[in-house]
Amino acid sequence: MADTEDSVATQRQLANPPLREALIDFQLADELPVKFAEDFEKQTISGLERKQQIRAGKFEIKIGPPHEALKKSEELLGWRYESPDGSRVVQLRRNGMTYSILRDYKGWPEIRDAARRVWEFYLGYLPGSVTVTRAAVRYINVLEFPPSVELNDYLTAAPQIPQGLPQTLENFLQRIVIPYQSNIHAIITQALEPAAQPGTRVILDIDVFAQLTVQGKSPALWNLVDSFRAIKNAIFFASITEAALERYA
Say if residue 200 is exposed, middle or buried (CB neighbours under 10 Å; 0-12, 13-18, 19+). middle
pLDDT digits (tens, 9 = 90+) for 129-183: 999 999 999 999 999 999 888 999 999 999 998 999 998 888 999 999 999 988 9
pLDDT digits (tens, 9 = 90+) for 53-106: 999 877 666 666 665 666 667 899 999 999 999 999 999 999 999 999 999 999
Query: So what's the pLDDT on residue 1?
Result: 45
Say if residue 190 is exposed, middle or buried (CB neighbours under 10 Å; 0-12, 13-18, 19+). buried
CB-based contact 95:181 (threshold 8 Å): no
CB-based contact 156:44 (threshold 8 Å): no
CB-based contact 201:143 (threshold 8 Å): yes
Query: So what's the pLDDT on residue 65?
Result: 63
Average pLDDT over residues 227-248: 96
Q: Pairing mode, if any, of strands 88-93 and 131-145?
A: unpaired
Any idea what the Cα angle at residue 56 is, between residues 36 and 221, rounded to 5°? 55
Residue 127: partners with Cβ closer than 8 Å, 6 or more residues away: none
Distance of CA 1 to the CA centre of its chain: 32
CA dihedral over 122, 124, 126, 129, signed as positive or negative: positive
> Does this model's pTM top 0.85?
yes
What letter does residue 242 receive in the DSSP assignment? G
Query: So what's the pLDDT on residue 74?
Result: 86
Rounded to whole angstroms, the Cα distance separating 138 from 159 reads 22
Rounded to whole angstroms, the Cα distance separating 8 from 234 reads 11
44-71 in b/e form (b: 16+ CB < 10 A) is ebeebeeeeeeeeeeeeeeeeeeeeeee
Rounded to whole angstroms, the Cα distance separating 201 from 172 reads 11
